[in-house]
Chain A
Amino acid sequence: DTEVTQTPKHLVMGMTNKKSLKCEQHMGHRAMYWYKQKAKKPPELMFVYSYEKLSINESVPSRFSPECPNSSLLNLHLHALQPEDSALYLCASSQDMTVNYGYTFGSGTRLTVV
């Protein structure tokens, strides 16, 4: 298995809803990442987990709450989002945080906040 699987592929949520995005990989990768990509913009790093511990938080608002229950799974819990949070949320993984030959990305979750 050489994939990063993200669910759901599409999500529409209201500003008062609570939802979660899921990311799963079975490649034995020990670093996992959340990126946010707005239309016509490059992906921007949100969080990095290394060996199930939060390693980097790029000043992301607290309405986004990441969780890494085990080495294969990464969640992003969403609560009280704003319409400007609508974007493509990409999960990625790599063997560890030091790799230089590239990460494996999931297909993303297209989030719309109404």
Chain B
Amino acid sequence: DQQVKQNSPSLSVQEGRISILNCDYTNSMFDYFLWYKKYPAEGPTFLISISSIKDKNEDGRFTVFLNKSAKHLSLHIVPSQPGDSAVYFCAARLEGSQGNLIFGKGTKLSVKP
């Protein structure tokens, strides 16, 4: 049973608009959530993270929102750029798991010029 779910396999957005990538989780013992971006033939690249005690973290064009009661987080990219086209993975760390990240299946974002 998947503990981290990204229900949209793909998302297409116009350049300059907002991209919203969603992630749901089932385990209330996750204490950190991370977003990774992956280009073809490259390893995942860390983007941004959020602690379970916060509800928002912002870094430049990237903002992650956490709704703990709904067990939902989202990544907002504003404004979207063609170079943002990649697969985005949501990952969660189990409290006390010492380094084990559980990844979602990923959402492929396409930003059209």
Residues of A participating in the B interface, judged by any CB pair closer than 8 Å: 4, 6, 31, 33, 40-45, 48, 50, 55-56, 58, 90-92, 94, 97-98, 100-108
Q: Given A105-B44, A107-B41, are A45 and B49 neighbors across the interface (CB < 8 Å)? A: no
How far does the Cβ of A10 sit from chain B's closest Cβ, in whole Å? 10
- A33 neighbours in B (Cβ, 8 Å): 99
Tell me which of A50, A97, A102 has the highest count of chain B C-beta atoms within 10 A of its own C-beta. A102
Q: Given A42-B103, A100-B32, A100-B49, are A56 and B98 neighbors across the interface (CB < 8 Å)? A: yes
The CA of A43 and the CA of B105, in the complex, are separated in Å by 8
The CA of A42 and the CA of B34, in the complex, are separated in Å by 14
The CA of A48 and the CA of B93, in the complex, are separated in Å by 14
Is the C-beta of B12 less than 8 angstroms from some C-beta in chain A?
no
Per-residue CB contact flags for chain B residues 70-110 toward chain A (1 = under 8 Å, else 0) read 00000000000000000001000100001111111110000
- A4 neighbours in B (Cβ, 8 Å): 43
Q: How large is the interface on B (under 10, 10 to 19, 20 to 34, 35 or more residues)?
A: 20 to 34
A107 & B43 in contact (Cβ 8 Å cutoff):
yes
A56 & B106 in contact (Cβ 8 Å cutoff):
no
How far does the Cβ of B5 sit from chain A's closest Cβ, in whole Å? 10
A43 & B103 in contact (Cβ 8 Å cutoff):
yes
- Knowing that A48-B98, A105-B44 are A-B contacts, what are 17 other residue pairs whose CB atoms are under 8 Å apart, sorted by A's residue number? A33-B99, A42-B4, A42-B104, A43-B44, A44-B103, A45-B100, A50-B98, A56-B100, A91-B43, A92-B43, A97-B98, A100-B31, A100-B32, A100-B49, A100-B93, A102-B46, A105-B43
- A94 neighbours in B (Cβ, 8 Å): 99
- A55 neighbours in B (Cβ, 8 Å): 98-99
| Interface members, chain B 35-90 (any A CB < 8 Å) | 36, 41-47, 49, 51, 89
Chain B residue with the shortest CB-CB distance to A90: B43
The CA of A92 and the CA of B89, in the complex, are separated in Å by 15
